[in-house]
Amino acid sequence: MRTRRLALALAIAGGAAPAAAQWLNYPTPGTPLRKDGTVDLTAKAPRAFNRKPDLSGVWRIEPPKPGEIERLYHPSEVNAVAGDDWRDFDRHFFNLFIDFKEGESPLRPEAVAQTERIRQDLLALPSARCLPLGFLTRYFHFRPFKIFQAQQEIVMYFEVDGVFRQIHTDGRKLPESPFPSWMGFSTGKWEGDSLVVDTAGFNDQFRLDASGHPNSELLRVREVFRRRDFGHIDMEATVEDPVVLTRPVNVKFSLQLIPNSDILENFCAEGERDQLFTRRQVK
């Protein structure tokens, strides 16, 4: 079973652009520096036009502690993902429910059975067919993403698969009967210095993690963004799906700023040979 799960993770994570392609050390105006010229990631968080924290910048998941991924998953080849290193992914990328003790899983029996069916077929993973990663999974991937903060919306652009997301902060309500989509429909509001975002209207085509856990169109996600300082955003995500879960699931993680950098475009065309090769190798 462990080999099959490893194969699933390889398939869902592969095909990303090389990290070495980043624009490095291009100075961003307003970046706080220490006396030695290095970026002070613990400086105060910048403020936007409305005096709320400015979330703009290039971000990535905060790296796990050394040895954490090996301890939790015991991968046989931590560097096998098309140049990516397993040890740089957040633990929730591989299993959203990793923090639950044995016997306390919030998954309904039908969802457990569906997950087992998915694990028998690598092509059941959308990302193995060059389709978008799951909604939360893209946070847990170590590839960066960029946040643009405007007056009435916040936009995210994810390097891992070239997907963008809009969070409307103009006071609108979530649509009552939204057309199912990969990123859903998001509305956000500020509660003090925290941005609270509600998202609904997902399709049921992606997976909650690299283990193949499914979702339904009734999935809803609430995110809370708190920019702790210049270099860090603390996040809390609450996942609700009455078809898949017996109760809401809460996940906490942190993002780390990549200062003086940028992201590049990345495309994965359906049938792309590197993806097909990766799937053959892990079967």
- The predicted pLDDT at position 45 comes to 96
Beta strands 163-168; 185-191: pairing state: parallel
- The predicted pLDDT at position 84 comes to 65
The number of helix segments (H) and strand segments (E) in the chain equals 6, 9
- The predicted pLDDT at position 9 comes to 54
- The predicted pLDDT at position 129 comes to 81
| Token digits of residue 22 | 């980043």
- Report the Cα 11 to chain-centroid distance in Å: 16
Rounded to 5 degrees, φ, ψ at 197 are -125, 130
pLDDT band at 80 (very low <50, low <70, confident <90, very high): very low
67 backbone φψ class: left, alpha, beta (φ>0; ψ -120 to 50): left
Q: CB neighbours (10 Å) of residue 17?
A: 20
> Which of these ranges, 53-62, 67-76, 84-93, 158-167, has the smallest mean pLDDT?
67-76
Residues in the chain: 283
Using one digit for the tens of pLDDT, what is the confidence trace for 262-272?
988 887 765 55
Using the structure block, give the residue that is written with the tokens 């070495």.
Answer: 20
| Domains and their CATH numbers in the chain | 2-282 (2.40.128.20)
- The predicted pLDDT at position 22 comes to 52
Alpha carbon dihedral 168, 171, 177, 182, in 10-degree steps, equals 10
> Which of these ranges, 4-13, 65-74, 117-126, 252-261, has the smallest mean pLDDT?
4-13
| Model confidence, pTM | 0.86
Residues 208, 133: Cα–Cα separation, whole Å:
9
Q: Best-predicted range by mean pLDDT among 74-78, 128-132, 242-246, 260-264?
A: 242-246
Could you tell me which of 21, 20, 18, 42 has the C-alpha nearest to residue 32?
A: 42
- The predicted pLDDT at position 279 comes to 42
Which residues make beta-bridge pairs with 191? 194
Residue 241 pLDDT exceeds 90: yes
CA distances from residue 14 to 85, 122, 238, 266, 282 in whole angstroms, order as listed: 11, 12, 27, 12, 11
Using one digit for the tens of pLDDT, what is the confidence trace for 21-75?
455 678 888 899 999 999 999 999 999 999 999 999 999 999 999 999 989 987 5
